[in-house]
């Protein structure tokens, strides 16, 4: 009659589960800690490496100068005006791209989903190309154009894909369609523009951190922090989304609204970062899968993906600046190459577990 498990059996099962949960939490902490350390090392390298001869003590003096008041004219410009903003923008943009990628991949449940592939980045890019070549905008105006272009395209894709709700499948398809129109528009503009203007546009399109200023870093950093904080309440809904629509609905989260808000945050992050640096290729695509690989089954990829995005961007920028002796390349060229190697590595290792993401 008494077929229910005895209390001590409950405790045993509980202990196993608790043990596993503990191990997973530990792994997650290790991964996050490791990534943070890596980021710190890369940041230090970014501050120390460069063509202008600066010694480590001089760098430290510069960094502390807002507090101590000691100024060193040329060195302060290099440390505080060139290297620090560039590294900060790299981190902020990397976090923004990484987060937007992982959000897209979670909501659309497709490891290939990212703002790049869905067509939103193209929207920013087309707006920017039109602004550069047709309107001759630069600086703040150009950034605004890119931002508006990205957000408007996202809105358009959402509207067109909406039919009693939004299926991820339709979003991707519509995104590809819109992307094709935008690419055609850009190609048309490129064939009608003067070569000089095309060069300007191609530079922007490749994604570059050259000439980053402190005000860009501060602005983007603030935006990323605010949107990141927004994710905390939303990420609870995100966890439920991975289980599938039906389960999520049964668990009580309002699926449609959660999806919309998460995608919205992802789109905004991507658009804001793109407005500052141009579209840096593949960071949004790579960050999530790399984070997941490191985490294994411990889940909760959002923070690690953010850190990964920052690390990848910073590392790529260092390579782009210093790998070739005579010429300095924009960061987007390198992230494209790294993205490829990474994807190939994914393909080689993924098969062990039979999963591809």
Q: Token pair of 285, please?
A: 């695509």
Any contact of residue 204 with other proteins (CB under 8 A)?
yes
Member of 1, 229, 232, 341 binding other proteins (CB under 8 A):
341
Cα–Cα separations (whole angstroms), residue 32 to 29, 38, 302, 307, 333: 5, 10, 10, 8, 27
Stretch of 1-9, 27-35, 255-263, 342-350 contacting other proteins, by CB under 8 A: 342-350
Residue 166, classed as helix, strand or coil, is coil
Number of residues lying near other proteins (CB under 8 A)? 84
Which residues in 126-155 contact other proteins (CB under 8 A)? 131-133, 136-139, 142
Q: CB neighbours of 337 closer than 8 A, spacing ≥ 6? A: none
Q: Token pair of 196, please?
A: 């000089």
Which residues in 61-80 contact other proteins (CB under 8 A)? 74, 77-78
Please, how many CA atoms are within 13 Å of residue 63, restricted to the half-sphere of its CB? 13
Instruction: Report the distance separating Cα 142 and Cα 256, nearest Å.
Output: 33
Nearer of residues 44 and 236 to other proteins, judged by Cβ: 44
Query: What is the residue whose two structure tokens read 């045993």?
Result: 12
Nearer of residues 150 and 207 to other proteins, judged by Cβ: 207
Any contact of residue 170 with other proteins (CB under 8 A)?
yes
Nearer of residues 4 and 327 to other proteins, judged by Cβ: 327
Member of 84, 118, 172, 217 binding other proteins (CB under 8 A):
172
Member of 36, 45, 80, 176 binding other proteins (CB under 8 A):
176
Any contact of residue 331 with other proteins (CB under 8 A)?
no
CB 234 within 8 A of CB 258: yes
Which residues in 265-294 contact other proteins (CB under 8 A)? 278, 281-282, 285
Any contact of residue 230 with other proteins (CB under 8 A)?
no
Any contact of residue 82 with other proteins (CB under 8 A)?
yes
Any contact of residue 213 with other proteins (CB under 8 A)?
yes
Any contact of residue 353 with other proteins (CB under 8 A)?
no
To 10 degrees, the CA torsion angle through 4, 9, 11, 17?
Answer: -100
Instruction: Report the distance separating Cα 202 and Cα 224, nearest Å.
Output: 26
């Amino acid at each position: 009659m008494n077929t229910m498990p005895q209390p001590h059996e409950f405790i045993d099962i509980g202990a196993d589960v608790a043990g596993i949960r503990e191990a997973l939490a530990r792994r997650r902490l290790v991964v996050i800690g490791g990534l943070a350390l890596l980021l710190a090392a890369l940041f230090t390298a970014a501050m120390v490496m460069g063509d202008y001869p600066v010694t480590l003590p001089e760098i430290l003096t510069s960094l502390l100068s807002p507090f101590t008041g000691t100024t060193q004219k040329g060195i302060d410009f290099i440390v505080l005006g060139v290297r620090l903003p560039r590294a900060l923008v790299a981190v902020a943009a990397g976090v923004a791209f990484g987060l937007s990628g992982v959000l897209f991949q979670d909501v659309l449940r497709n490891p290939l989903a990212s703002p790049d592939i869905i067509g939103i980045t193209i929207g920013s890019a087309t707006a920017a190309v039109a602004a550069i070549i047709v309107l001759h905008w630069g600086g703040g105006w150009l950034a605004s154009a890119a931002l508006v272009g990205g957000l408007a395209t996202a809105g358009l894709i959402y509207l067109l894909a909406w039919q009693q709700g939004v299926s991820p499948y339709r979003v991707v398809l519509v995104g590809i369609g819109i992307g094709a129109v935008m690419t055609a528009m850009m190609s048309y503009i490129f064939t009608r523009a003067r070569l000089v203007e095309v060069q300007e546009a191609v530079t922007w399109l490749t994604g570059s951190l050259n000439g980053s200023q402190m005000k860009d870093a501060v602005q983007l950093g603030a935006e990323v922090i605010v949107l990141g904080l927004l994710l905390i309440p939303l990420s609870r809904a995100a966890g439920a989304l991975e289980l599938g629509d039906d389960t999520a609905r049964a668990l009580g989260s309002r699926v449609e609204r959660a999806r919309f808000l998460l995608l919205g945050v992802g789109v905004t992050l991507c658009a804001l970062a793109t407005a500052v640096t141009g579209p840096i290729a593949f960071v949004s695509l790579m960050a999530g899968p790399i984070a997941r690989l490191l985490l294994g089954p411990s889940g909760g990829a959002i923070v690690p993906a953010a850190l990964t995005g920052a690390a990848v961007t910073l590392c790529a920028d260092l390579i782009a600046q210093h790998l070739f002796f005579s010429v300095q390349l924009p960061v987007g060229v390198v992230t494209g190459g790294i993205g490829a190697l990474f994807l190939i590595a994914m393909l080689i290792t993924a098969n062990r577990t039979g999963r591809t993401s």
